[in-house]
Amino acid sequence: RWADDFLSQLAKVQEVRRLHLPRRLHGELKQELVQAYEDSERRLLLLDYDGTLVPFAPTPNKAKPDEELIAVLTPLARDQKNTMVIISGRDAETLDAWLGEVGMDLVAEHGLMIRHSDQKQWEQVDDDISDEWKEQLKPVFEMFVDRTPGALLEEKGAALVWHYRRADPGLGSQRAVELIDTIEGYIANTSLHILQGHKVVEVKPSTVSKGRAAQPWLSAKPAFDFILAVGDDVTDEALFEVIPESGWTVKIGVPERSKARFFLSDPSEVRSLLKELS
């Protein structure tokens, strides 16, 4: 009897876990999304950049948008029914240089800075956020750059990012764990937060998130009747969490437990979807 109960409970646990796995967005599901897009009058597209619209590059500055991507995004941005938002971890200067002429709203540093397509100036979401903490933590990051061949430090307005994509995989992963352990001692009882993404370790204010940054669009009136949110990283989970049930949330990469309802494999599949919409 106990064995039957155990197997029954195990089956229930596995079923719950399956419910948390996003479904592949293809076939009839994909056509359902395209049809919903075509039938709508006010559309909101919230798109991550690295790992979503472009593949990851060895160094951050190598991931510039190619001609194909600009050609895919431009007609979508010009469609009067669409509000296009690139919501990225990139800094404001880079987003401006790479995508500023396409005509989309831009969100930098996971939600710290926002620039609408009809504005030239960036706005900081929270004026109380300080970057004074960076002076204390920057030497720690620099020490781990020195100890890890191929690693590099990226400094943003209110964040420090340690990249180890070009480092030896084993050493890079080991140093990432060590860096996180070291940082945790510095940021205890502060408002700072550690993010571990794709071959990166980032420290930023915990009050900054993509979910919070998306609120001005999600609360806009009249409401959008089509919402698509696409991202590949742990930072995108905060965005997926605030999208209404009627919206389309898509995680990019190998399927894993996520707050997204659907998944696509890589940026090429994202571009293919966007081409169908345009």
> Which residues are the active-site residues?
48
Of the candidates 80, 93, 88, the residue with the CA atom closest to the CA atom of residue 42: 80
CB atoms within 10 A of CB 14: 10
CA distance 278 to 57: 27
DSSP-derived pairing of the beta strands 192-197 and 200-205: antiparallel
Task: Return the bridge partners of 263, or none.
Answer: 24, 251
Angle between helices 67-78 and 267-277 (to 10 degrees): 40
The closest alpha carbon to 209, from 130, 107, 127, belongs to 107
What lies within 8 Å, CB to CB, of 110 at 6+ separation is: 87, 88, 89, 159, 195, 204, 208, 209, 210, 213, 235
Tally the residues of the chain. Answer: 278
